[in-house]
Structure 1
Amino acid sequence: MSYKSILVHLDAGIRAHPRLEIALQLAHRFHARLTGLFSTYVPPRHAFVVMAGTADYYAEHERLRHERAGALQRLFHAELARARVDGQWIAANGDANDVVPLHARVADLIVLGQTDLSDPESFIAEQFVEHVVLAAGRPVLVVPSGGTVAAPGRHVLIAWDGSREATRAIHDALPFLDHAGQVTLLTVHATSDQPPRDRIAGADIADTLAHHGVTARVRELNIDNDTPVGDALLSQASELDCDLIVMGAYAHSRLHEMVLGGATRTILQSMTVPVLLSH
């Protein structure tokens, strides 16, 4: 199993080029075709109809958007040629939360950037990363907004709790696991946890991975009830020198809105290494 098509989201933010570099390295590693999908924040046109003097602002925003798209497109094709990777460029129009999942569903792996509150140009849409994770139906690799990050996969940390989402994430991550030098499968237990009778033990899923040629070291961690699971995962990733976390993206419905679970939110807000999420 391998990723044969990778889609990287690109925008006008300062982290677009480093994110493209990571996607290029992954496309080279997996012999995959790379799609660069340009999508930025598009202010709703109707919002300017009732505001006097804003028509020129909208036109200027569109001009700058096309200018940035053209510059990034030239960079994308130059980088493809340098890396000797096959690919295509798509400039999507419309609200990113609507158009990006549509393109993402035909790729094997999606590469997104972590929300960066310090860079206004990187704002795409409300809860953009969360929306793509829940709506795309494909594994999403989220790259941290800070620091220098190389293409991940040297030491992979799997967050395992026996759930459907965790199972999906493991199988979606098999190309990474197959290339990894080391894989650690971690189960986190809070003091008051009462594990369900039908929970699949870490040793059992590690045995499944062994059938795929992946050797995983099983590790269990006990934490206090007031310690967030997300914080425990990040701490373990740092302690074990992991460069990728694989985990299921949990969600529940609240007033007909899909809301990410606590551990997933913590990871997306405070991530220090790339995270592969599946829902």
Structure 2
Amino acid sequence: MTLKSIGVFVDATPEGEKRIDYAATLAHQCGAHLVGIDVVSAVRREHRSDYYVVGEKAIRASLASRKAADEAATSNVRRRFEAISANRDLSSEFRVIRRGGPGEDLTLSSLHSDLVVIGQRELQELPGYAAPERLLLASGAPILVIPSGWKSEPIGNNILVGWNASREARRAVVDALPFLVAAKCVKLLVVDSDERAGRHGEEPGADIALYLARHGAHVEVEQVSSQGAPVADIILSCARDHGVDLIVIGAYSHARSVEMVFGGVTRKLLKQAPVPVLISR
């Protein structure tokens, strides 16, 4: 798959500007259209004093103040996004999603993207953002989560793929192909292969490694036993030991009616991974 449309969630934080810069660089490399998605007030928490506003006049003043702050923040973010996009001569657009039920707009903005770039902190702390499982379930677009401590280093030179022979893992590998083919090294990590021996085949990891090699990726397979340790900890430890700058995982999940709840491995990686994580389902 070639990346031709990339969505990036933007905001007025320093992390937000780094995300714009990375997404713009990636779009330039791929010749992709870049969509900046700004959730109004997503970086602004409610102030304690907002809960004590009494009287029609005071309420109107509070709402007007909030609207002015939102518009100023949006204007600032738009200028940054447009300047960075223009500097790289990109085809781009800027979308604003208003407060008060942005779920459908978020999904629509993600639905037609080959990749959605979002910040780790936004997924966990800031109001106004859809949970990653909702975006994945509703849009099907792979999500690249950038950690809060990321220092604008390159992404995707040394990639770790968590492989468990599941449909979700296979989907993640396909969605990550543009990164995997371009990487200097791809490490395919197989944890506790004996638990799904029938899915892995005679040599766990060998078939998917051959699949990737045929696409031009440079792949190494590593099989490990967790010995009872959490699988997420094994993945994070391997990433640290090998200087990994991108983790690729399938979002294993448990369906609940129209919602989806991530498994423990996926959720822990999203919260704690010190490097970018590409998740797909």
Deviation for aligned residue 1:39: 1.0
Deviation at 1:235, TM superposition (A): 1.0
The match for 2:226 is 223
| CA 235–97 in structure 1, closer or farther in 2 if over 3 Å, else same | farther
Distance 1:98 1:26 in 2: 26
Query: 1:246: how far off?
Result: 0.5
Pairing of 1:46-65 with structure 2 (within 5 A) = 52=55, 53-65=58-70
**2:107 alignment partner in structure 1:** 101
Displacement of 1:173 after TM fit? 0.4
Alpha carbons of structure 1 residues 117 and 260: separation in structure 2 relative to 1, 3 Å: closer
Amino acid paired to 1:24:
A
Q: Any conservation in 2 of the 1:247–1:278 contact (CA below 8 Å)?
A: yes
Post-superposition shift, 1:54?
3.4
8 Å CA contact 1:140, 1:276 repeated in 2? yes
RMSD of aligned residue pairs (Cα, Å): 2.6
Asked if the contact 1:169–1:247 (Cα under 8 Å) also holds between the matched residues in 2, the reply is yes
Q: Structure 2 stretches of 5 or more lacking a match? A: none
1:153–1:244 contact (8 Å) kept in structure 2:
yes
Per the alignment, residue 28 of structure 1 pairs with: 28
Q: Distance in 1 between matches of 2:231 and 2:41?
A: 32
The aligned counterpart of 2:238 is 236
Change (3 A) 1:104 1:144: same
What per-residue deviation string (whole Å, max 9, x for no partner) do you get for residues 65-116 of structure 1?
1111111111111111112222111112253333212111101111000025
Aligned residue among 143, 148, 173 for 1:140: 143
Query: For residue 251 of structure 1, what is the aligned residue in structure 2?
Result: 253
Contact 2:183 2:218 in 1 (8 A): no
1:254 positional shift: 4.4
1:178 to 2:189 alignment = no
Matched-pair identity in %: 36
Distance 2:136 2:152 in 1: 21
Q: What residue ranges of structure 1 are gaps of 5+ in the alignment?
A: none
Task: Give the TM-score normalised by the residue count of structure 2.
Answer: 0.87
Question: SS in structure 2 opposite 1:54?
Answer: helix
1:209-220 aligned at under 5 Å gives the runs 209-220=212-223
Alignment length (residue pairs): 270
Task: Select the residue among 193, 198, 202 that pairs with 2:205.
Answer: 202
Q: Is 1:68 the equivalent of 2:79?
A: no
Inter-partner Cα distance in structure 2 for 1:168 and 1:31 = 23
Q: Which amino acid aligns with 1:123?
A: P
Q: Check conservation: 1:10, 1:37, Cα contact below 8 A.
A: yes
TM-score (norm 1): 0.88
* Counterparts of 2:62 and 2:131, CA distance in 1: 24
Greater Cα shift, 142-151 or 69-78: 142-151
Of Structure 1 and Structure 2, which has the larger fraction of its residues in helix? 2
- The structural deviation recorded for 1:134 is 3.0
Partner residue in 1 for 2:277 = 275
